[in-house]
Amino acid sequence: MVDFRECHITHYPAKVLAGRAQPVESIDDSIRVLIDKMADLMVEFKGIGFAAPQAGVPLRLFIVSMDGTKENIKVFINPTVTPAGELESREEGCLSVPGVYTHVRRYKTCQVSATDLEGRTFKETAEGMYARCLQHEYDHIEGVTIVNRMGQAARIGHRRQLRKLEEAAGA
């Protein structure tokens, strides 16, 4: 049994960020501990969303708090995010790719269905920054980071920082 209290933020190019995460089989105390630790990490590093792979755990789960507070965190377990509407390019950053901000094209709207911490399934439609955040976190559980979404010019522009992260990881 993994002690999720020992989780820490995982940086690019960590392998856990590049693979598709596994479904959460059951919502138990270990999952609650993991979510609590993820919330602490997200708040500490001033994020608005955080996926389990970012904590080094390859599970299909993420949290979102649009105001960055622990009190307003919403939990998404085994989510499905379906984008809709028009595409829009906006600048994004990522806690797992520190120092890199790049334009990413995402849909303005999306539908999400997921399970909450009490085991209830729910569906909702998100727009604007909330929709962008959901798509960003969903990317993480699919093994995609903003580095994968960068155009060639952005990769060239961020090559020093990406190389620095790769060297820090021993890659």
Residue 23 has phi, psi (to 5 degrees) of -65, 150
For the entire predicted model, the pTM comes to 0.94
The three-class DSSP label of residue 126 is strand
In total, how many domains does the chain have?
1
Give the mean pLDDT of 146-159: 93
Side-chain-side CA neighbours of 38 within 13 Å: the count stands at: 29
Does residue 137 carry a catalytic annotation?
Answer: yes
Q: Which of 6-10, 31-35, 134-138 has the lowest mean pLDDT?
A: 6-10
> pLDDT value at position 48?
97
CATH code for position 84: 3.90.45.10
pLDDT, one tens digit per residue, over 30-84 is: 999 999 999 999 999 999 999 999 999 999 999 999 999 999 999 999 999 999 9
Give the mean pLDDT of 104-126: 97
E strands, 9-157, in order: 49-51, 61-64, 74-93, 101-115, 121-127
Residue 83: cis peptide before it, omega within 30 degrees of 0:
no
Name the active-site residue from 25, 91, 127, 137: 137
List the domain range (segments joined by +) for residue 81: 4-168
